Amino acid sequence: MAIRILSVDDSRTIRLIVTRSLKPYDCQVIEASNGEEGLAAAASEKPDLILLDISMPVMDGVTMLTRLKEDEGLKSIPVIMLTAEAGRDNVLQIAKLGVRDYLVKPFKDQQLIEKVGRVVTLANKPAP
C-alpha cells in the first residue's frame, strides 16, 4: 500500500520538486497550497507524513502545525517542516511544536528522500 504524503507549500515549484523526488517510490503525494487547505486535506486524507512549509499566505505552517497538534485525530501524524530560514530561533520554535525534522530550502532531492525515509519506510514502486 502506498505511503500517503501531504505536501503543503504555497510554491507550486516546491510541490512539483517534492512530487518528482518521490516519484520512484510507492507514494501518493497530496498537495495543498496553504495551511487552511493543508488542515482540510490532513483531516480528509489522513496522510502518513506531512511536509509543511513555514511561510505561506492564508494560514502559515506554524499555525497549521499548532492546530494539527491540538486535534486528537491528527496530532500523531509526523511532520517535516520546510523552511527558508535555518536560524536557531526558528528551528527552536518548530522543535517545541513537535516536528519530526526540518529541511532548509533550497534542498536537493536526495536530502528530501533521506529525511522522509527516516520517518516513513520508502519502498520502490512495484514493477508494472
All domains of the chain in start order, with CATH: 3-111 (3.40.50.2300)
pLDDT in tens, 6-17: 999 999 999 999
- Whole-model pTM over 0.85: yes
- Residue 70 predicted with pLDDT over 90: yes
Compute the average pLDDT of residues 28-36. Answer: 97
Distance CA 61, CA 83 (A): 9
Identify the CA nearest to 81 among candidates 45, 50, 59: 50
Mean pLDDT of the chain: 91
In this predicted structure, the answer to whether residue 87 has a pLDDT above a threshold of 90 is: no
Provide DSSP, 49-118.
EEEEESS-SSS-HHHHHHHHHH-TTTTTS-EEEEES---HHHHHHHHHTT-SEEEESS--HHHHHHHHHH
Is the pLDDT confidence value at 97 over 70?
yes
Q: Give the three cell numbers for residue 78.
A: 509526523
Is residue 105 over pLDDT 90? no
Q: Which residue has the higher pLDDT, 26 or 94?
A: 26
